[in-house]
Amino acid sequence: MTYAAPCFESKICPPEQLSAAVAKIARPLVFTNGCFDILHRGHVSYLAQAAALGVSLVVALNSDASVKRLGKGAERPVNALADRLAVIAALGSVSLVTWFDEDTPLQRILECRPEILVKGGDWPPEKIVGCTEVLGWGGTVHSIPFIHQKSTTALLETIRRL
């Protein structure tokens, strides 16, 4: 017996195909980004809140090399990009997931031209990469307060202690 790839994998979009893929999804479009290394309740709640601000949600993940440059530790990311993409794509709140190898997602933001740019509550709107550009074309920028105080770093510390 053969099995087809899970349907959520169709939501994984290589950067070079992002502009064409975004042209096919409903607007207003919400854009966010992050590592999403070990998915936890805080991530899922945040992504659901972000999605609720528009009709479609595009999530851009840091590549493995980009995560390493963030200084989160030599062992990070724990999950490779392909695995992180699949997990994020499986979430019902996510319309498309892509990635970036640069230090910031600015190029993906420019390719998507979202009406709504979002980051977590630890980012003041004026510090969010792409803020100037999104506001410049008439969009909005949001910093979503954390409902659940969770972090991948804290989760990993707990696991190591056990």
Tokens, residue 101? 């190898």
Kindly tell me if the per-residue pLDDT of 5 is higher than 70. Answer: no
In a domain, 90, yes or no: yes
Kindly tell me if the per-residue pLDDT of 148 is higher than 70. Answer: no
According to the model, what pLDDT value does residue 3 have? 67
Distance CA 162, CA 118 (A): 34
In a domain, 3, yes or no: no
Distance CA 117, CA 129 (A): 9
In a domain, 141, yes or no: yes
In a domain, 40, yes or no: yes
**Number of domains the chain contains:** 1
According to the model, what pLDDT value does residue 150 have? 72
Q: Which residue has the higher pLDDT, 131 or 154?
A: 131
Tokens, residue 128? 């969010």
SS3 call for 71: coil
Q: How many CA atoms lie within 13 A of 19 on its CB side?
A: 4
Kindly tell me if the per-residue pLDDT of 140 is higher than 70. Answer: yes
In a domain, 136, yes or no: yes
CATH of the domain at 137: 3.40.50.620
In a domain, 7, yes or no: no
In a domain, 5, yes or no: no
Distance CA 118, CA 129 (A): 10
Convert the pLDDT of each residue in 67-109 to its tens digit: 999 988 888 999 999 999 999 999 999 999 999 999 999 999 9
3-state helix vs strand vs coil in the chain, percent to 5: 40, 20, 40
According to the model, what pLDDT value does residue 1 have? 66
* pLDDT, mean of residues 60-72: 94
Amino acid at 28: P
For residue 46, the enclosing domain spans 13-161
Per the prediction, the chain carries an average pLDDT of 93
0.75 surpassed by pTM: yes
According to the model, what pLDDT value does residue 24 have? 97
In a domain, 135, yes or no: yes
Q: Residue 17 — left, alpha, or beta (φ > 0 → left; ψ -120 to 50 → alpha)?
A: alpha
